[in-house]
Amino acid sequence: MRELNEEELKDMVVGCTVLGTGGGGDPEEGWKMVKEALDQGKRFKVVTLDELPNDAIVVEPSFVGSIAPGLKPKKKVKIQDPIKKAFERMEEYLGKKIDAVVATEIGGSNTPLALSIAARLDRLIIDGDLIGRAAPQYHQASVHLFDVPMYPAVMLTQTGNVIIVEQYADIDDYEDIARYLSVLDGVFSVVVDTPMTVKVAKTAVIHNTVSLSIKVGKAIREARRNKEDPLDAVVEVLSGWRIFEGKVKRYAWRNEGGFLKGEVEVAGTGKYEGHTLKSWIMNEHIMAWIDGRPILMPPDLLMFLQDNGEPITNTNLKEGMKINAIVAKAPEKWRSPKGLQYFGPQRFGFRYEYVPVEELLKWWLK
């Protein structure tokens, strides 16, 4: 077991935001949740799945909704601590104590959400998540690769809706239910789902991603302190590539069906002058092109960072902003044939066969 201190938790939030690929929630809100638990004297106890008995129970909590700026609840807020209520309601439904929490994704608020509720309720935190980055839909949960259901689930809104999903017909319906609740709320729905034993989780979870997030955030912090390039530090930790820098020429987005959807075009500067990077966004950066030619396909990662290594979320992305683009490989589980059914380019309506980012880069980085 590893107990995280405040500096490690700060590094984790930064690293999660980098791996959030533009989505994953607001890191300021994420840090607020973590800091409140710290100020209450709560402990953030991280374990690997191998440290727990096979029959221990693990769940994943998450926020579901668009990351578009300026959203507000449509009705009066009735539930002040919705994630705690959802967690407790899940324990009531299961008739069992939940032993540990695993993050639904790696992102600026969804990972801190999982860690903070675990700390507040004195539960353990699994060093892992269900995606290995942030992604827009429940389809992109690694449990589907191993036929592990996400039900039963507790869903609620801060405006007072509380729903138990005992079973769903398919993951399309499940996504629609959670997403519709977020639209009803106006901001988000809170979900606690995927109760599973540690024996099952050992196969289904993407391992060691909390530790990876801490490494990314630490690398940025230390590079700044040592007056080194934090972008190079991120590339080294992720075994990734710097592929572009420039200024945002156009950013067109809309809040649609509980998602932020849009496109961003970046005009190259420096050695990239005369070239254009384009990214298609569905909360996260999903698909990207340079000069009209694909340079990144899902599930691989595209991340926008400032010169100082600060990650840029798509909520805060603006025209005229200077960005640096870094790409990295997705976890191997997602590159499998079954993984691509849920997280490949065709899942998002693109008529491409998946090509790994390291192959797409050959023409550009030669």
pLDDT in 10s for each residue of the chain, 366 residues: 999 999 999 999 999 999 999 999 999 999 999 999 999 999 999 999 999 999 999 999 998 887 778 889 899 989 889 999 999 999 999 999 999 999 999 999 999 999 999 999 999 999 999 999 999 999 999 999 999 999 999 999 999 999 999 999 999 999 999 999 999 998 889 999 999 999 999 999 999 999 999 999 999 999 999 999 999 999 999 999 999 999 999 999 998 888 999 999 999 999 999 999 999 999 999 999 999 999 999 999 999 999 999 999 999 999 999 999 999 999 999 999 999 999 999 999 999 999 999 999 999 987
42 and 175 housed in the same domain: yes
What pLDDT is attached to residue 49? Answer: 98
64 and 184 housed in the same domain: yes
185 and 240 housed in the same domain: no
What pLDDT is attached to residue 3? Answer: 98
Helix (H, G, I), strand (E, B) or coil at 1: coil
* Contact in structure between 154 and 193 (CB atoms under 8 Å): yes
Q: Is residue 275 part of a domain?
A: yes
Give every CB contact of residue 301 below 8 A, 6+ residues apart in sequence: 19, 21, 133, 238, 240, 285, 327, 328, 329, 330
205 and 236 housed in the same domain: no
Domain boundary among 179, 209, 239: 209
8 and 84 housed in the same domain: yes
* CATH number for 179: 3.40.1610.10
What pLDDT is attached to residue 34? Answer: 97
185 and 37 housed in the same domain: yes
188 and 104 housed in the same domain: yes
Q: Is residue 225 part of a domain?
A: no
What pLDDT is attached to residue 70? Answer: 82
Sign of the four-CA dihedral 46, 35, 17, 153 = positive
What pLDDT is attached to residue 273? Answer: 98
Instruction: Label the pairing between strands 276-282 and 241-256.
Output: unpaired
For residue 299, is the peptide bond before it cis, meaning its omega torsion is within 30 degrees of 0?
yes
Q: Is residue 83 part of a domain?
A: yes
66 and 7 housed in the same domain: yes
Write down the pTM of the prediction: 0.95
87 and 196 housed in the same domain: yes
What pLDDT is attached to residue 64? Answer: 87
What pLDDT is attached to residue 284? Answer: 98
Number of domains within the chain:
2
Give every CB contact of residue 278 below 8 A, 6+ residues apart in sequence: 263, 264, 265, 266, 288, 289, 290, 292
Q: Is residue 226 part of a domain?
A: no
* CATH number for 257: 2.40.390.10
d(Cα 69, Cα 110) in Å, to the nearest integer? Answer: 17
What pLDDT is attached to residue 131? Answer: 98
What pLDDT is attached to residue 315? Answer: 95
What pLDDT is attached to residue 340? Answer: 98
Dmax (CA) of the chain: 62
Domain boundary among 209, 240, 272: 209
What pLDDT is attached to residue 65? Answer: 83
Q: Tell me which residue range forms the domain holding 26.
A: 2-209
Q: Is residue 282 part of a domain?
A: yes
Q: Is residue 323 part of a domain?
A: yes
* Contact in structure between 68 and 26 (CB atoms under 8 Å): no
Domain boundary among 175, 209, 243: 209
154 and 252 housed in the same domain: no
Q: Is residue 242 part of a domain?
A: yes
